[in-house]
Every structure is written in structure tokens, then in C-alpha cells.
Amino acid sequence: MDRIGIIDIGSNSVRLVIIDIKENRAHHQIEHLEESVRLRSGTDFRGSLTEEGMAYATETVSLFVTFCKARRVEHIIAVATAAVRRAPNGQELVRRIQQETGIKTTILSGEEEAYLGYLGLINSVTEPSGLMADLGGGSLKLVSFANRLNQNTVALDFGGVSLMEEFDLGDLPTKENLRNLEAYLDEAFGQIPWLQEQPNVIGLGGTFRSLARVYRNHVQYVPDITDGIVIPTEAVGEIYSMLSKMDAEQRRKVPGLERSRADLSVTGFGIIYKLLQASASPELTVSVASIRDGLFFRHLYPRDPILFNVLTHHTNNLIDYYNLDENHLRRVSNLAVTLFDQLQPLHGLGSSERRLVLIAGLLHELGVVISVESLEKHTLYTILNSPLRGLSQRERVLVSYLAASHDQLFQVNLKDHVTNGPISLDDIQSFKKLAPLLQIAHSLDRSRTGVVTHVQTRLTPEICELRVFGSGKTDLEIRDASRRAEAFQKEYGPKLVLVKG
């Protein structure tokens, strides 16, 4: 077991994440600490870091390093971004930190910071093309990518803290100051010729995550998770307009908005809204990926840090980290997919639903990491809240409920995700057709011995005959799978009959 710590000294805050890495490279984040330091605000008229700012940052990093030692961290990676990069005395802070803690901090260039954000993102989403926007306190990094490859990169010398101070937007903004901010952003974004060709904007950073929390509370959105949430550009504009009419104290009371970001919120959300307008994007996707993820994957895979298949990696990672019964999970998943393929004329569903069955089969017992009692609700919770990258929120909800239904249909609060979330009534109908297939597949490996080797279906208008082939006695599996006949007939029509092959 290896345990690494990553310290990110940003313009607005200093963050620490601690990640466990097992011998098979399965990994899991076990700590995330954050301290608002506001290094960008702690600069003098020459742009140098003040004594107070450097002392606070050094003390924070020192406390994080002490915490790492207490948590038995074996290796610490420390980086600094825009505020330290631009300060004439940035190296002095690096020297102080090393003298105090023994940790050497790397000051990232704007291009390196943008690349690490891109690397963290591309290893977290399956979208092949888009625009990454990583907004920090002192800089905005934009990376366009196509076929998962970096196409264009620009690091702009402004962020939420710097523009808040420049346009005096920390408290109740004046109309003139808002107009000046928006004109500044229009001009800055207008100088990037490739920006208008990027309708798929994916946002990284604390300001984007803060916007997602405000939006979730504003519309009572479920599920209550940030990663992958899609926010209409119109809604971003409404939130920006709403907050710009409030003073800082009023904004601190807005549901979902952290008190420490109340002063930054108008500026940050204004930057996001003007970027969406400049790129002509109808919506924004928010990701929880960060440069810390980029640093981690570069550490884990130094020769080639870009994952070949994002969803496969993160699915396998959950199985491996929690030591789940991989052979059983893969047998169930394979049998469910086989049934899906053979019964395609009956259900008429496509490749996207096939993928849902495959992943739900692999993760249908993830809830055992909490308890085998009430396994269905624990499986739903863990899939919704685990770092399972590579699924949209719609897919994540459907996979969670499908996996939770591997023994019997589980629909608790499912319709809330229609009225206030990312799925539709048609999705629920698809889910109800997929659940019996997973239930049958689970029954066909009930003894967990792999005795069932393959299945073959034969359809008539009245009967679906399922021939079960095995390497030994399959009586237990056939008997258990026969319990699914009623659920199958309810969704499909024909009567399910299981026979030995």
C-alpha cells in the first residue's frame, strides 16, 4: 500500500488530498482538506506576496505536512499556481515552505497548470470533444480538445479574486462596475478565435462547484451530487443576476453558497456566464476533476497518464479497491449482456442501454462495503456517491437503480429524478425492462461457482424459452432464476420458461 499527499497552493485556497494506492494500483481518496488563504489578495502594489500572506500560506502548508505525517503519507507532491507564479517574490515563499517543512514546491507555468487540468478532466469524462474551463482565483485556463486530444490552450491572467478586486465586486456591485466587468470579459474572450467553436463547456474549480451547489438548491435538483451536473446557460445567467443584486451578507445566506465564497460569487459566476455566451454554449457541465487529479495520474502512470478507457478504469478501480468478488460480478454482467443481446427483438433497446446493463452487473454488489443488510439501498447510495467517472448523471442514476434492483425492483424516490433531475419517464420504462435481465443473470450465478457457462433463448409470441448450459449441476441456478418469471412476463409479455441445455 502506498499513500500520497498532493498539496495545491492556489490563488484563493490551499488544498490537500491524500490518496491510497494498493499494490494493484487501485486507488481511493481518503482525505480532502482546504484552507482559504487568498494569496492573490495578499499582494502589495508591486504584485509581491505580503509578509502576512506568505506567513499564513507557510503555516497552512506546514499544518498539512504534519497532518500527512500523522496519516502515514509516504510521498508528498506540492505545487503552486498563479498567485505565486506571478509574484516577484514567489520563490521566497517556496524557500520558506521548504525550510519549514522540507517539502519542495513546484511553481507551475500557466501552460503546465492548464495541461494538468486537462489531464484530470480527460481521465474523468467520456466526452471526446469539448472546452475545459478551469477557473481559479488568479487565472482562467481554457483547453479545447477533440478525440480526447489537446487542440488549443490559453491561460488568461485573471480569475475570480483578481477581477473581484479590480472591479470592486466583493460587496454590493454597482451597475457601472458590472458593466465594466462584462465589457472586459467580452473583449478578453473575443480575442480567442477558436472559442466560438466550442459549444460543449466543462467547468473545473471551486467556483464551478459552488455554482452547481447553488443551482441544485435553487431548483431542488436530485441527485445531490456535483460531478456531471448539466446547468442551462439561461440558469447560470439567472443566478448571476440574482446574486449581483445582493450585498455580501445577503449572499452568505443563499442556500448552497459557501460563506467563504460569498464575496467572490458575483465575479466568478459572471466570468462563467460570459464564457458560456462567448462560446455559444447552451449549457454547462460541471466536473469535480482538478489539477490534483492530473498530478495523481501523472504519478500513477508516468509514461502514459491518459487512460485508455475512462469508465472501464474507474469501474475496475472500485472492484479492485474494495476487493469485491470480481469473478461473480463479471459472470453476472456477461450473462445480463448476453440476455440483452439475444432478446433485443423483444425489448428494442440500443447500445446505450446495453452499457447500463453491463456496468450495473459489474457493480450490483458495491453496497457490501457498507453492509449486506439492506444491500439494495446501500448499492444505490455507493454508486451515486462513489468516484465512478465516465458516466453522465442520467446514466449514473439509471445504473444505480438498476444495480440496486438485481434481486427485486427498487424504485425508492426514483420519480424524483424525473421531476427534479436528469432522467425521463422513458428512462424509467427502459429501466423496468432491463431489471429482469439483471435479476435472471444474478440468479444464474447464485452459487457463485460459475457452473452456468452460457445461455440460449428461443422466442415465440407466448413463450421465451431460456436454455441453460453448464459445466455441472445447474438445478439451484435454474430454480432461482425461475423466480424471475413473473417480473419478466410483466415487462415483456411472453412467459419465461427455463430448461437445462
Q: How far apart are CA 475 and CA 142, in angstroms?
A: 59
pLDDT in tens, 145-164: 999 999 999 999 999 999 99
Q: How far apart are CA 294 and CA 282, in angstroms?
A: 28
Residue 268's nearest CA partner among 342, 165, 385, 351 is 165
N residues, the chain: 501
| Global confidence as pTM | 0.95
Query: Under CATH, to which class is 310-500 assigned?
Result: mainly alpha
pLDDT of residue 110: 94
Residue 216's nearest CA partner among 130, 160, 274, 286 is 286
Coil, strand or helix at 358: helix
The share of the chain scoring above pLDDT 90, in percent, equals: 95
Residue 361's nearest CA partner among 331, 391, 317 is 331
pLDDT in tens, 425-475: 999 999 999 999 999 999 999 999 999 999 999 999 999 999 999 999 999
Residue 462's nearest CA partner among 481, 489, 440 is 489
Beta-strand ranges (E) seen in 331-441 are none
pLDDT of residue 25: 96
pLDDT surpassing 90 at residue 219: yes
pLDDT surpassing 80 at residue 195: yes
Q: Which residue intervals of the chain bear CATH 3.30.420.150?
A: 111-292
1/484: higher pLDDT: 484
pLDDT in tens, 410-431: 999 999 999 999 999 999 999 9
- What does the block give as the cell for 246? 445582493
Coil, strand or helix at 101: helix
pLDDT in tens, 118-148: 999 999 999 999 999 999 999 999 999 999 9
The owner of cell 482538478 is 290
Q: Which residues, 6 or more positions from 388, have their beta carbon under 8 angstroms from its beta carbon? A: 314, 315, 318, 363, 396
Is residue 86 within 8 A of residue 143, CB to CB? The reply is: no
pLDDT in tens, 5-35: 999 999 889 999 999 999 999 999 999 999 9
Q: What is the mean pLDDT of residues 70-80?
A: 97
Encoded amino acid at 250, one letter:
Q
Helices (H), 71-146: 82-86, 90-101, 110-122
Q: Is the peptide bond before 223 cis (omega within 30 degrees of 0)?
A: yes
* Tally of CB atoms within 10 A around 163: 23
2-108 has which CATH code?
A: 3.30.420.40
Q: What is the mean pLDDT of residues 476-498?
A: 96
Rg (CA), the chain: 26
Under the banding of pLDDT at 50, 70 and 90, the label for residue 350 is very high
Strand order in the sheet with 230-232: 149-156, 140-146, 130-135, 201-204, 283-286, 230-232
Q: Which residue intervals of the chain bear CATH 3.30.420.40?
A: 2-108
Under the banding of pLDDT at 50, 70 and 90, the label for residue 199 is confident
3-state secondary structure string across 135-197: ECCCCEEEEEEECCEEEEEEEECCCHHHHHHHCCCCCCCCHHHHHHHHHHHHHHHHCCCCHHH
Q: Which residues, 6 or more positions from 423, have their beta carbon under 8 angstroms from its beta carbon? A: 394, 397, 398, 417
Residue 160's nearest CA partner among 218, 239, 82 is 82
- What does the block give as the cell for 383? 454508486
DSSP 200: -
pLDDT surpassing 80 at residue 98: yes
Helix or strand (DSSP H, E) at 305: none
Q: Which residues, 6 or more positions from 28, have their beta carbon under 8 angstroms from its beta carbon? A: 19, 20, 317, 321, 387
Superfamily of domain 111-292: Exopolyphosphatase. Domain 2 (3.30.420.150)
Q: How far apart are CA 55 and CA 411, in angstroms?
A: 53
Under the banding of pLDDT at 50, 70 and 90, the label for residue 38 is confident
Geometric angle at alpha carbon 109, from 46 and 121, rounded to 5°: 130
What end-to-end distance do the CA atoms of the chain give, in Å?
46
